[in-house]
Amino acid sequence: MNNRKILGYGYYIPKNMITNHDLEKIVDTSDEWIKSRSGIETRYISSDENTSDISYNAAIKAIDDAGIKNEDIDLIICATCTPDNLTPSTACLIQEKLGLNDKHVMAFDISAACSGFLYAMQVASMMLMEYKCALIIGAETLSKVIDWSDRNTCVLFGDGAGAVIMKRENINKNMFFYANSEGDNEGKLRIKGPSLKEPLKNELREIGHIEMAGNDVFRFAVRAMSEALIKVLEKADKTIDDIDLFIPHQANYRIIKHVIRKLKIDESKLYINLNNYGNTSAASVAIALAEAKEKGLIKEGAKIVLIGFGAGFTYASGYIEI
């Protein structure tokens, strides 16, 4: 796919930082235990901003970075598994916050967990055959579904949002994507939805917490990320040495280390920020991409590979020429 360009990048992190030492006070864990098993030191939690709010803040930064107006956007895709509501979509709420209700805009959500942002980028790249300018967001308020008594999961996740503006332009820039999925009917990584209830009876139904079989997810992640990376390089007709920067899903540093050792990737070509933000699911790759751009690590002409995996199970990758 060519004639697609990322014009702007933005991210937003809630203000409430939670350290490993804070978590030591509520569950049987320690700073050393968390860092040695995940690489995470801090994460941020939203107390008064829902997913659409943090998405809006990331979107505004991306729009400003792109040098466009809100009115230039005619496609909004939000990747999230923690929406404000079951319906309406978070993307439609973002449309309203951007003042675009009287414009011709297609807005919808994608639920592919931690792969969601990459799924959304692939969908947007295809839809830009008809539309002109896409706002693509990965955003989560995972704190809504964290079980703070479960030390195996509560130490891993955080909130945040990242966004990009992708536009159809008359340029020779290539993008390639790869995506795959495998149904996880055993619930190795899930958040249960409301259960069924008896007809004609009102009963309280709550959304579940994050549940994860850590060892199973670890093995899947290493295999899936390796496959996704190799497949997208094959599509792009590139080698690992051709790539300037690799941005993996920021879930667990041990997973990333296994992948780069397996594929012989130079660690200096990795962008890692999971120590600061933890696993922000669909926002993870989006935040890392925008932050890397902000730090001057993404320059004109760069070749970047994005890789993700998540509940579903889903996994995906993207090759992007800047």
| Residues 150-180 pLDDT 10s | 999 999 999 999 999 999 988 878 999 999 9
Is 209's pLDDT higher than 70? Answer: yes
- Given the DSSP bridges, would you call strands 133-140 and 75-79 parallel, antiparallel or unpaired? parallel
pLDDT band at 207, cuts 50/70/90?
Answer: confident
- Of all helices (H) and strands (E), which one includes residue 274? helix 274-277
116 vs 136: CA distance, rounded Å: 10
204 contacts: CB under 8 Å, gap ≥ 6? none
What pLDDT does residue 265 have? 96
Is 35's pLDDT higher than 70? Answer: yes
| Residue of 177, 78, 75 lying closest to 129 (CA atoms) | 75
Write the CA distances from 220 to 184, 213, 272, integer angstroms. 11, 11, 20
Catalytic residue (one of 50, 78, 133, 249): 249
Higher per-residue pLDDT: 281 or 197? 281
184 vs 248: CA distance, rounded Å: 22
249 catalytic per annotation = yes
Mean pLDDT on 227-254 = 97
Q: Amino acid letter at 216?
A: D
Is 220's pLDDT higher than 90? Answer: yes
Other beta carbons less than 10 A from residue 232's beta carbon: 24
Higher per-residue pLDDT: 234 or 204? 234
Whether the CB-CB separation of 61 and 151 falls below 8 Å is answered with no
Sign of the CA dihedral 290, 296, 301, 305? negative
- Of all helices (H) and strands (E), which one includes residue 166? strand 160-168
202 catalytic per annotation = no
279 catalytic per annotation = yes
Catalytic residue (one of 78, 81, 114, 133): 114
Mean pLDDT on 243-267 = 96
Q: What percent of the chain has pLDDT over 90?
A: 92
Mean pLDDT on 219-236 = 97
pLDDT band at 1, cuts 50/70/90?
Answer: low
Q: Give pLDDT tens digits for 6-27.
A: 999 999 999 999 999 999 999 9
Is 2's pLDDT higher than 80? Answer: no
Q: Name the DSSP class of 212.
A: E
50 vs 43: CA distance, rounded Å: 16
Catalytic residue (one of 20, 252, 276, 279): 279
